[in-house]
Amino acid sequence: MVIYGVPFSQPVRAVMWLLLIKNFPFELRLINPGSSSEGGSRHPDYLKKFPSGTIPSLEDPKTGFVLSESHAIMCYLCNKYKWHDLYPSNLEDRAKVDSYLHLHHRNVREASIGLVAPKVRKDLKFSKDFLATSKANIEKAFNAIENGWLNDSSYLVGEVMTIADISAYVEIGQLQSIFTNVYNFEPYPNIQRWLNNMQNIECHDDIHVALYELGDLSKEAPTMETIINANKKAFKVIQEKIINM
Ligand SMILES: N[C@@H](CCC(=O)N[C@@H](CS)C(=O)NCC(=O)O)C(=O)O
């Protein structure tokens, strides 16, 4: 199985984390998000296979099957390989996982757009209104998670971690003080408890090497060189992990 993307990307990390947890070998092909140059997600060669021009994407070289969208990829892999521990076969539990996966877009996903991207991409201009709307969406989503999804359970859908938690964590987890340190989780004790649980999930550290490398972004933006080196180091760690499977 080939996965296209870079380790710093949140949805790419979600797909790779699932594959590492399942000890499932894959090839990571580096694709630069948003770039229309060769090797970029907006280059005509990439767009021919993956018209939405985003990472992650999956390609099965045996069948020629191609797929974009991290949630579709994770559900497809879980269905194909019957990973029902992470994507329940019970229809009601599965529907709850799906419900979170749909909610994630334009809600929890705003964490990257409204809190991390402005710190990392100094070349992009975000208007005050855009950032304020984004922050309001994040707060609304975090309140729903704090008071609803995690109110009386260890994970988003009950007592067992699912792909919903993987997807949520790559987005919310990146904000913690051990990584970018751009959000205060004090008002959210249930989310803090869940973040601590997720830190103990296997391969957590391997999948977050790029973030450990970038470090605290609350005061200073990383240079492009730091970002490139962080992705390179993370790529190497993931390659080693796959070789040793
Ligand atoms: N909903 C998509 C989001 C993918 C996404 O936004 N990927 C970013 C990188 S983190 C990307 O490819 N951006 C480049 C672009 O849109 O041109 C998913 O879950 O896969």
pLDDT at 123: 76
> Quick check: 173 pLDDT over 90?
yes
Query: Given the DSSP bridges, would you call strands 57-60 and 27-30 parallel, antiparallel or unpaired?
Result: unpaired
CA of 12 to the centre of ligand 1 (A): 9
pLDDT band at 224 (very low <50, low <70, confident <90, very high): confident
pLDDT at 121: 80
Q: Is 34 in the pocket of ligand 1 (CB under 6 A)?
A: yes
The answer to whether 148 and 103 are in contact (CB under 8 A) is no
Is the C-alpha dihedral spanning 75, 81, 87, 92 positive or negative? positive
Buried b (16+ CB within 10 A) or exposed e, 30-43: ebbbeeeeeebbeb
Q: Using one digit for the tens of pLDDT, what is the confidence trace for 64-110?
A: 999 999 999 999 999 999 999 999 999 999 999 999 999 999 899 99
Segment 176-189 shows an average pLDDT of 96
pLDDT at 207: 98
Residues in the chain: 245
- Strands (E) in 64-125, as ranges, are 65-68
- Distances, alpha carbon 11 to alpha carbons 25, 148, 158, in Å: 18, 24, 23
pLDDT band at 125 (very low <50, low <70, confident <90, very high): confident
> Quick check: 41 pLDDT over 90?
yes
Q: Is 69 in the pocket of ligand 1 (CB under 6 A)?
A: yes
Q: Using one digit for the tens of pLDDT, what is the confidence trace for 189-223?
A: 999 999 999 999 999 999 999 999 999 999 888 88
CA of 40 to the centre of ligand 1 (A): 12
What angle in degrees, to the nearest 10, is found between the helix axes of 10-21 and 70-81?
Answer: 10
Average pLDDT, whole number, for the chain?
96
Provide the whole-model pTM. Answer: 0.97
pLDDT at 122: 76
Q: In the CATH scheme, what architecture does the domain 91-204 have?
A: Up-down Bundle (1.20)
pLDDT at 203: 97
Q: Using one digit for the tens of pLDDT, what is the confidence trace for 101-124?
A: 999 998 999 999 899 998 888 778
Higher pLDDT, 10 or 224: 10
Q: Is 55 in the pocket of ligand 1 (CB under 6 A)?
A: yes
Instruction: Give, in degrees to the nearest 5, the angle at Cα 65 between 63 and 67.
Output: 160
The domain ranges of the chain are 2-84+224-243, 91-204
Coil, helix or strand at residue 30: strand
Position 22, amino acid: K
Q: Is 107 in the pocket of ligand 1 (CB under 6 A)?
A: no
Report the CATH superfamily, name and number, of domain 2-84+224-243.
Answer: Glutaredoxin (3.40.30.10)
